[in-house]
Structure formats: structure tokens, C-alpha cells
Structure 1
Amino acid sequence: MYEPIRSKSVHSTMAGNASGLPHRSREEELDIQLAGHLAALLAVTDELRALAPSADLDTAAERIAGQVARLRGGHAPVRASRAAGDRVRDPAALHQRAHTLAGRALVVAASRADTAAAILAAERMDAHTAALAGREHLSAAR
């Protein structure tokens, strides 16, 4: 019914020797993914710091930057400058974005059993949930 394959696969000849391809372990891939989520969380945290500076956000930003540097082998993450905060942004939307990013970081940190990053991500989720709840409470009181 079907004609048999008469030639070698194109994929095996194009790829050449499979051992010659770059390969990363699952742990390395998870490190890269976690560092990316935390770096994005850091960027949003820096935006929030520019809108409404606070000691809590300053501390959180430093802790996040420390985790990103650890995951990237000591390379410090790129940080947003205070001047970048000149754009008018909705703080509630930033808190929601930060909460989402912290949740993603928590999932990856849990899957790679990184307790320090998981605790930090969970703390940030709680902080952004509280910030969102406080804003809803204030807008309902008006």
C-alpha cells in the first residue's frame, strides 16, 4: 500500500553528527528561563520604583538583581534608569504585570528546586497582590 523509503532522511544528513550540535541540559535551560522571568520582573519593578519610590521596591529590586546575577554566572542584569520613568504608566497594570511575571518565575523556580528564587517570587506575588488590593480598596472608597 505504501512505498518504502529508499533514501536516507534529509534531517540526518543536514544535521550531520548529532554530537556536534550545541546541547544544554534541562537545568541550564531552566536557569535561562528563570533568569529571563526574573529580569523581566526586575524591569517592571524598576518602572514601579520610578513611579512611586519606596524602600520595599528598592529592596525587592536588589534581591531580584542578585538572583538574576547568580543565575547568569555573575553577570549583572541591565537596569532601567530613573529617567525611563518619565512615561506615564498605570501603576495597577504594572503591578498586575509584575504579579504575572513573579508567578511564572515561581513555577520555573519550583520545577528546578531553587528555593531562594521560589521564596523571592512568592514574596513578590504577595506584595503585588496586596498593592492591587489596596488600589481597589482606595478606588471603591471614592
Structure 2
Amino acid sequence: MYEPIRTKSVHTMAGTADFPHRSREEELDIQLAGHLAALLAVTDELRGIEPSAELDVAAERLTGQVARLRGGRAPVRASVTGAGTTAGSDKIVALHERAHALAGRALVVAASRADTAAAILAAERMDAHTAATEARRALTTH
């Protein structure tokens, strides 16, 4: 009925040094850097549609946090070409909602690894994207 396992289990190799192991903290650093890098990508996309000094500052702060978590390696940045490109209000709201969700994920991971700087940044970004979404929706309903 079932085919027998023909290879050794990776779980039995825990005592050997044949492959690298990462600590929980290292795994959380990788996960947090990924969430912040994704948030940075959405922030750069928003900067391309609606340039603002607030988004520029947020992007720089996110870049700093990602670089810190990656041992000094700066994240890949999306070029902000087409600044001022018009986009539908629905797309902008969707981007703010996506950024809010990414910031929320980053906040959860930052809290679990007790990274105060990243947690504060993520919480601030959540608040900013909530406010931007509400403001955009208020404009479209009137």
C-alpha cells in the first residue's frame, strides 16, 4: 500500500555537521528582513505613483532595517521611474492595504524576536497605511 522510504531521514542527521543549521533567531531575522523588503517594494511602488517626502523617509528607514538584518547588505530597490504616474484610486488603496498587511506581518515577527526598532517602524507603517487608505476612501465617497 505504501512505498517504503529509501533515503535517510533529514531528522536523524541533526547530530552531524554535514549541513548548516540556523538558530531560531537567525530564522526570524531572515523572515523579518523578507517582510520588510516586501514592504519596501510596495513603498517604492507607491512612491512611483504618489511621490511624497513621508514615503521617501519610510523607504530609507526600511532600507536601513533590512540592511541591518542582512548583515549590512542593502536590499534591492525598485527604481522609482514614472514618478507622478496616474493610477486608479482602487490600485492605490490596494497597495496601501497590501503594505498594511506586510507591515503587520513584520510587526508580529519583530515582536517575537524582541526587535524594538523594527517593531516600531512596522507599527508606524501600519498606522500610516491605514490613514492613507481611509483618506483615499473618503475622497472617493464624496
- TM-score, normalization: structure 2? 0.85
Unmatched tracts of structure 1, length 5 or more: 1-8
CA RMSD of aligned residues (A): 2.2
Q: Pick closer, same or farther for the CA change 1:16–1:100 going to 2, 3 Å.
A: closer
Unmatched tracts of structure 2, length 5 or more: 1-6
Indicate the residue corresponding to 2:140 in structure 1: 139
Q: Does the aligned pair in 2 maintain the 1:47–1:84 contact within 8 Å?
A: no
Deviates more, 1:30-39 or 1:84-93: 84-93
Q: CA deviation at 1:136?
A: 1.3
Identity %: 69
Which structure shows the bigger proportion of residues in helix conformation? 1
Q: 1:48-127 maps to which residues of 2 (within 5 A)?
A: 48-83=46-81, 90-127=91-128
- TM-score, normalization: structure 1? 0.85
CA distance in 2, matches of 1:79, 1:122: 22
Count of aligned pairs between the two proteins: 132
Residue 76 of structure 2: SS of its match in structure 1? coil
Q: Does the aligned pair in 2 maintain the 1:109–1:115 contact within 8 Å?
A: yes
Residue 18 of structure 1: SS of its match in structure 2? coil
Q: Pick closer, same or farther for the CA change 1:135–1:75 going to 2, 3 Å.
A: same
Deviates more, 1:78-87 or 1:46-55: 78-87
Residue 22 of structure 2: SS of its match in structure 1? coil
